[in-house]
Structure formats: C-alpha cells, structure tokens
Structure 1
C-alpha cells in the first residue's frame, strides 16, 4: 500500500513537472496494398517501402552474402571484427582477443582454398556440428566464396536425428569440435555419404583409428588452413547468384523428423539490407553472440552486425560465464529470447527482496512510477533520469552498462517483462518476429515506437496478410482484424528441401502460412495473439489456446516452466510444471521440511500452494473457468533440449512432453473424474 501511494505521489509531482511529455507512438506503420482476397484481409507492407520490397542494396551493389563479405572487409579493414576469450595454460579464460575484418577475410580465403584442395566442388553441402566459435563463422563465410551450402547441426540433437539430416541433405563433408567428434563419427557409421570430417581441435590417435575403420578421412582445421595457404590462391572464386542456396536450416521440430528450410542468398541478403530500417547498426556497436548459430535468429544478427561494421564478441561455450562475459564486453546491442529475460527479472527481484525494508520500499516506489509512466505512455524526463541514476544504473551494469537496444525474439515476450526491461535497463526494448522460413526477420518494432506489446510492422523485405480462421472466430476483416499470419517476399523461403508434400501444405499460392494468429493494431503494428497449431477443443466444445494460458501461469512466483495439456475427451486442462528451485527452497525453509526439490515436488501442501497461486493469477487475468488448470503435476526436472522436452530454440516439444508424462497425466485426470 505504501509503495502504491508513493508511486501515485511521485506520479502527480512528475505530471506537473512534465506536463504534455508523451512517449513517441507513431501511427500509420503499415499501408494496405492490392485488392481484398476472398478469405482474408488486404496485404500490408511497411509504410517506409509501400511501393517496393527490399532484396538488395543497389547503390552498394550488395546482392549476395559474398558481396557483403568482400565489401564489408574492404570498407572496415583493420577495425575490430570478431573477438573470443582464449584459455591460458591453467585453463582460465582471459580477456577478449580480437581479429580485424582483413584478418577474418584472409582466414576465410585459406579455408575455401583448403576445401578446394580436398576436391570439394562448388555448391556442395558442408555440415557444421559445433558450439559457437570463431572457426564456425569462418567456415560459414568461406562457403560464400565457393557457393557451398552450409547445413548446421544443433549440438544437442541425438544421433538418429543428426543421421537423418546428414543423409537427407547429402552432406559429404562436415566440420565438428572435439566435443562433437565422437558423435560425428557415430553418424558416419550409419550414413555412407559422410566421408570427410574436419575437427576444429586436435585429434587423438583413438579417433583416427575409429575413422580409419569407418572409411572416413579425418583432418584438423589447422591442416585445412595450411593446405589453403600453400594453394597460394590458385582456386578461383565461384560467387553465388541471389538464387543460389546458402543454407538448409533444419528446424528442430516439435513433432516428427526435422524439416529442411531452403534459404537462398537473396533470402538472407534481403533481411540484412532491411535491418537498417529497424535497428540502426553502427560501426561503433558491439554485439555479444551467445545464441546458437544453428538457429536462424543469431545467424542473421551476425550477418547484419558484420555487414554494418560492428564488433562481435563470441560466447566461450559455458552458460555460467554469460553474465561475466557480458560485463567484460559491454555490448551496445543485446539479443535474447524471453526465457533469458524472464530469468534476469526473477534474479533482480530476488536480490531486491533481500534488501532492508526501507530500500525495498524506495525501489518499489521508483519501479512502480516508471512502470506506470511507460504503461500509460507519458514521459517524465527529469524524474526518470534521477530514478535511473539512483535506482537502476547498477542493474543496467549486469549487461555491461552500455546497452542501447535490447531485442527479444524466438517467442512472445510478456507485457510485464518488456516493461521491466524498459524500466531497469534504461534502453530501447524491441520485440521481433520471425520464422526460420522467413529468415528470422519478418516483423520488428520500430526504434521510435515507445508503446508496449507489439512486434511492429513487417520488415521491408516481406509483406504480410492475415487469413480468416473461422473455426476459431478469427476474422481478418472484423472490427479488430485477426487471422493467421501469412508471409511473402524476397526474404521468404521457397519451401522444404526434398519435401514437396510439406511445401504444398505450408506454402500456398506464394504465401507461407505460419500457423501464428496475428492482430493488426490501430497504429498499423502487428501483435501475435495465438498459435493456430496449439489450439485444441475440449469435450464441451470450448477452444483452448495453450500458449495464452502458459503466459499467465508462468507469472506465478512458483513457476519456472509450464506445459498446459488438454484431453479432447475431458472438460478441463491440466498443467505440467517445473517449479522455481528457489521458491521450493524458501517454502521448505519456512515450513522446516525437507529441502530436496524431489521431495518438495511430491509434497501435497506445496502442490496446493502452487495451484492456488496459479488459479488466483488466472482469475485475475480474466481467463474462463475451462482455461484454468484444475490439477498440476510438479516435476523436479527442468524441460530442456537435453531430455528432448524443448527444442534447441527453447520451444516446448508438446508431443514429447505428453509421452514423457503420460502416466502422470492419466493420474491427474483420474482424480478429477
């Protein structure tokens, strides 16, 4: 109560001091073009490019990623390009060590020359199976020079899935690391096409012997570099055309085998060229690269940062080092996924809860004031500068203190978390939207838009239309225009590799149907409100959107992860929940009971506390009774890609979760019957 009155008091004073200071909220962000189709709304484009879509930069003659590579290195020369931390003789990581754009291009040249020496022909498929590292990026860029097609492997996938990808994509040569060498050899056992493996690290005698038995030739990365130097530039470049396949991006797949999204140089180049219309990237910018390169989002971010001359610090590979490295690097651009930002929010409030009562009261008052001002769209310039200096500057230091733009992608960011980041990080927070089929960049909030909760207009490289979904009540021509988001343009893939059936299913009349439900807002921006494929019907005919429910359930202080499940023959939904370990420990401490998380998850008193809190939040958020979980199962094991319950891009694998918790689901429903 004190916090609220303090916020209101400051609000009144601030309102007087900052009368008429409204936050920027541009309208007319999109324009409608063309005729209205029968089953959907009119096509919309970014208002900045109403008469055309961007696919290249004509003035700079950038038509492919090869053009971007060569011309960026010529332009930025000796400027810092990529940096990584090296281990000393004791195994300790040091400071970031940098190479220039010129050195990077030189190494790319050596690698492509070395691969030519091995006899690798232009347009061949090249696999990369490793964590983020400089060598990964060098191989990727080297592929542009000979028009190779890169196929990246998620490091956490099992041998069966990796073997499928290798055979399906016809990968004859693959790069790997010491950590993934054995798994790569395991793939070669069952896949005849893979005959050459190049390891980024040194190789021991045992692995050479295994490779020999399999009829596979092993090289180290350094050996290929040496071959490339000795070739002395004898192999001519074979530059790609815009329509040359640049990569096959195998989606991790929430069900079934991975699908190979075909992505051309034009697809990727158009996104890179369109970036400047959203996030202005400068040659003074610094980006921390920690999201996996096997995912299209980070790949596109790297390509864009490189193209505009930014410095890029590469993740050392140990998740526990991320915050240390961020502080060391002090990035100006920070790209993340909602799961990362939710953890930051949880940790901040956990630390605040440990402070003395007076400090907590003052912080909460300051936080609530700034939160309200952002939520309602008014600005308090003088007051906010003081609050940032006194209360939030130390929190901002968690990301190095220099971040000017935070971009969240891969999944929707909750309203509360978006405002939290705006409050404590004192910078611009953008939400982006993109499918692998759209090269990860299909819509993004504008830098000059200070409103909350939208993903902005389409990228200048694609256009969007909404298609009616009448069975779910979504009408693209209603008072509020809603429907399935469909994408078309230079940045959109033409389909799936060697899978005509899936391509026909999801690419119709030149449009990719995303399965996401969008809403056009009054300002012309887009919001994602549902997922068509994650909506099901209960026994009494009610449709349930599980992701909407999960967004609310995860707000509970006790919930770390949640998967909502509903049986079509039942009248209610249930929830599988991994609780916050800290909340478990704190509750156990207050009850003087066993603090082992496995035992806490079985404790019926704790289960009731969690369920009651979830029900309270659901009712507060206005969910219908059939949308509120009636029973929950607590699991001490987190959903992860290691146990095959999450995709590597942190999406729930609902089919796998259903199988994994089949017995628990049956027990929950039997108790409710």
Structure 2
C-alpha cells in the first residue's frame, strides 16, 4: 500500500496545529524557579506578527532568514514566520566560530539574521561588510546592540502591517541545514517542504504521539534531528516541549518537566549507564547486589521471551526489583517516560540491554541531514536491539554491490546548495542518495550499520574489510 503523508508542507503542519490545539501548552521556559508555558495560540500570535515584521524588512518568496541561537520559543516563531513568507530558514549554532558563520551567511545569501542576543549580533556586525545580501540583524533579546533591530520592534511592525500566510509549494526549499564534513567548508543541504513534511508524517505514522505528551528539548534545533523529529513532529501532534536550560541542567530539568517522550542521543543513556556501573563498583554491598540482581533477572527474562517462554518466578522477582531499584532510576527521567527515541550515533548493545532492564524502552533509528533526516527506526511492535530498525513509510533503501546504503523517497534532499559536482557524486542515476554508510538487512527487514565506505581497507587477497565491528569489540 502506498504511503499517503498527512502533511505536504510545513504550512499544513502549522495550520493544523493552530486549528486543533490552540489552548494547549506548547513551549515551557524556566524562569523564577519554575517552567512557564506558552500556548499554541500565543505561539501563533507571535508567528503572525513576526511574519509581518520580516516582510517589512523585505523578506519574501525565495529569500533566506538565518538564525544564530540556542533553542527558545522565538527560534520556532522565526522558523514558521519565515515559511509563511515562502522563504527558507537557515539555522546556525552559537558555538560556531565567526569564520563558519561568515561562510554560511554568505553562501546562503541570507537577507536577515536573527541572533539570540546583542553579543552575537556584534560578532556578526564585525564582518557585515563581507555580506552584501544581509539587510538586517534582529536581536531576539529584550535589549539588542548597535545596528540591531529589537525583536519587540519587529512584533510591533508586523501587528501594524500584517501579512497573510503564503500558500507554498511542496517543492519549495524550506531549510538550508549546513553539515560539517571531515574536510572543507560546511555544505548547505537544501530541504524542501515535501522533504520535511514527509518525514514528519512518517514519524507520526509509526510512533504514538498524543497531545498529552511532553518532551524535554535539549537536542539543538539547528540540527535536522532535533528540528524535524522533535520540534516539527511534536508541534504537528499538539504535544509540548520544555526547553532545557543548558546541557548541565538536563538531569534536573527532566525531573521538573517529567517528559513522557524523549528525543535523545546515546550520550545521555551512556551517562546513566556509567553512573549505575559506578554505584555497582563503589556502592554498599546491598545496593550493588540489588543492581546486579536487577540486570541479571532482566537478561534471563529477555532470553525466555526470545524463546516464547515465561517464568512466574522471574516475573514476580522483576516486580519486586522494579519497585526497589528500577523505578528509582526511572525517576531521574521524571517518572512518566513512555519511551525514548535515539539517533545521531549507535547505542552499544551493552547500554541498550541495560536501559531495557530498567524498564525504559529506547527506539533506535538511523538517518542523515540529507534524508530529512530519519530513514529507518525501531518502533512499537517492531524492534530489534542492535539494529537501527526498518524503513519508515514512504522510504526505500537498497544496498549497492559494495554494501553502501542507498536511500530513495520524498525525504531525500533537493541537493547541496551551489555544489553541482558534489551532487553528481552523491546521487544515483535514479535519484537515490548514496549515504556513505555500509549496512546489511536481515530477513525481516531490520537494518544494521556495519561501517563507512571510506573506512574500508584492502587486504592482500583483494578483499575489503571494515574495522568498525572489530573496534566495537575492542
């Protein structure tokens, strides 16, 4: 059966959210000791105003609006205001150096750049003469710097001169997302409304997301994973996001926001694993014994379940240990977590099995910025530890003769901006994207990543090998 995406543009995502979820909370920001929540209606009011404000600065169809900021509601406001003008959003990281900022702003021909505060604005102003297309620097802080338009002025301008949302085509570019290669300057990945909306629709198809769900947003929205799988997808389903104060405050914020869903990278789970292993090594005898027993019982239950068997004794032991041990560790995640989705890198089998033993289900997936980003995922009812799952609806993968993963589907990027030679290298004759990753697919369709094409070494017998599996064992 052919996949029929729910959304074809991010404007459709926005319209649906405004129509169906107006009074529900959307973004939570910590202030004065507590999280304060912006509703969907409040968000929409700001989007409408900033759309008019950007139009007053000359932004229109085909233009680019850049943003240099960590996650915050105004980041998302700027994004949806930009889409509504038929322009493309170009996110940058505050942690990048001036040289990378200059390259990206110049390469994308950004007309307006939104900055998180006056200090960032001053840095951009320092090389503004090298950006002939840059019309305005807008500070999202209450007080900007010299030569910067305050966010409040943009809101006022838009409210005085509102501009209706434009009906965009699915094939119009919605985002420039720059990826850093191992060599050379960052490349601008052109993602269309169809690319992004299709991935949002596919994720919604396989993951149960409800308006009552809540996440803690700590993955940068400047990255395709955080932006598409968290921001756009949760927004499309009426869910809410508490915005983490900082990396150092993630654990504390988890307990405050009490997420039901979590979009993460392996590093977070590795930290929990390392903490518990340290307790096993250094904690008291009883505590260490309980942790070891919890993990052992969980491992035995998994083996039996894999054989289609069960044990009443193990089931009862699991319930007791869950109350004594696992529930207390889950409380670090807020105590309400239904599941987590992990991408960006592979979770080791050891850590994945450990997290499972605690009663936390982590679904691992695979993707790249060039594929908008998710290609495959484990999901409820279709999960295999060690794999990165099956293809999302509407996506097709094939393996080349040398084992490279080739991706086909509406999620595949339009191309790299201004780099025809690079595009010729990564696209196949039939429009597939060469990922550079090697993999294998089992008999049930689960994908396993086995290495990178460039990591291959030629042996004396002429065969090629990839060191990654051996390195993991070491």
Give the TM-score band, short-chain normalised.
over 0.9
Contact kept, 8 Å, 1:74 with 1:102, in 2: the verdict is no
Trace 1:346-495 onto structure 2 (pairs within 5 A): 346-374=274-302, 377-378=305-306, 380-424=314-358, 426-469=359-402, 483-495=403-415
Indicate the RMSD between aligned Cα atoms, in angstroms. 1.9
Q: Give the structure 2 partner of residue 35 of structure 1.
A: none
Shift of residue 257, structure 1, vs aligned partner? 1.0
SS in 1 for 2:125: helix
Shift of residue 166, structure 1, vs aligned partner? 1.0
Q: Give the structure 2 partner of residue 518 of structure 1.
A: 439
Q: 1:236 to 1:359 in 2, by over 3 A?
A: closer
Q: Give the structure 1 partner of residue 250 of structure 2.
A: 322
Among 132, 143, 153, the alignment partner of 1:223 is 153
How far apart, CA to CA, are the structure 1 residues paired with 2:182 and 2:425? 17
Whether 1:288 aligns to 2:216 is yes
Q: Give the structure 1 partner of residue 104 of structure 2.
A: 165
For the pair shown, the structure with the greater C-alpha radius of gyration is 1
SS in 2 for 1:247: strand
Shift of residue 417, structure 1, vs aligned partner? 1.1
Q: Give the structure 1 partner of residue 135 of structure 2.
A: 195
Contact kept, 8 Å, 1:461 with 1:490, in 2: the verdict is yes
How far apart, CA to CA, are the structure 1 residues paired with 2:178 and 2:76? 18
1:470-507 superposed Cα distances (whole Å, 9 cap, x missing partner): xxxxxxxxxxxxx2111111111121111110001001
Contact kept, 8 Å, 1:144 with 1:239, in 2: the verdict is no
How far apart, CA to CA, are the structure 2 residues paired with 1:546 and 1:239? 50
Whether 1:186 aligns to 2:131 is no
Q: 1:101 to 1:517 in 2, by over 3 A?
A: same
Whether 1:312 aligns to 2:312 is no
Trace 1:49-128 onto structure 2 (pairs within 5 A): 51-54=1-4, 56-57=5-6, 62-86=7-31, 88=32, 94-128=33-67
Whether 1:130 aligns to 2:69 is yes
SS in 1 for 2:126: helix
Trace 1:208-247 onto structure 2 (pairs within 5 A): 208=146, 211=147, 218-231=148-161, 233=162, 235-247=163-175
How far apart, CA to CA, are the structure 2 residues paired with 1:80 and 1:357? 45
Comparing 542-551 with 329-338, which one deviates more in the overlay?
542-551
How far apart, CA to CA, are the structure 1 residues paired with 2:268 and 2:445? 29
How far apart, CA to CA, are the structure 2 residues paired with 1:362 and 1:236? 61
How far apart, CA to CA, are the structure 2 residues paired with 1:538 and 1:157? 40
Shift of residue 537, structure 1, vs aligned partner? 4.6
Contact kept, 8 Å, 2:104 with 2:178, in 1: the verdict is yes
Contact kept, 8 Å, 1:124 with 1:148, in 2: the verdict is yes
Q: Give the structure 1 partner of residue 204 of structure 2.
A: 276
Contact kept, 8 Å, 2:363 with 2:383, in 1: the verdict is no
How far apart, CA to CA, are the structure 2 residues paired with 1:546 and 1:531? 9
How far apart, CA to CA, are the structure 1 residues paired with 2:341 and 2:462? 39
How far apart, CA to CA, are the structure 2 residues paired with 1:180 and 1:544? 46
Q: Give the structure 2 partner of residue 655 of structure 1.
A: none
How far apart, CA to CA, are the structure 2 residues paired with 1:381 and 1:256? 55
Shift of residue 386, structure 1, vs aligned partner? 2.5
How far apart, CA to CA, are the structure 2 residues paired with 1:132 and 1:491? 24
Q: 1:251 to 1:363 in 2, by over 3 A?
A: same
Shift of residue 450, structure 1, vs aligned partner? 4.9
TM, length-normalised to structure 2 = 0.93
Aligned residues: 465
Contact kept, 8 Å, 1:188 with 1:195, in 2: the verdict is no
Shift of residue 538, structure 1, vs aligned partner? 7.5
Trace 1:535-554 onto structure 2 (pairs within 5 A): 535-537=456-458, 545-552=466-473
Contact kept, 8 Å, 2:64 with 2:111, in 1: the verdict is yes
1:524-582 superposed Cα distances (whole Å, 9 cap, x missing partner): 21111111123345799785634434433xxxxxxxxxxxxxxxxxxxxxxxxxxxxxx
Among 81, 88, 91, the alignment partner of 1:142 is 81
How far apart, CA to CA, are the structure 2 residues paired with 1:443 and 1:71? 26
1:376-434 superposed Cα distances (whole Å, 9 cap, x missing partner): 6445544323221121111001111111111110111111111111112x132110111
Shift of residue 353, structure 1, vs aligned partner? 2.8
How far apart, CA to CA, are the structure 2 residues paired with 1:144 and 1:485? 32
Q: 1:421 to 1:361 in 2, by over 3 A?
A: same
SS in 2 for 1:433: strand
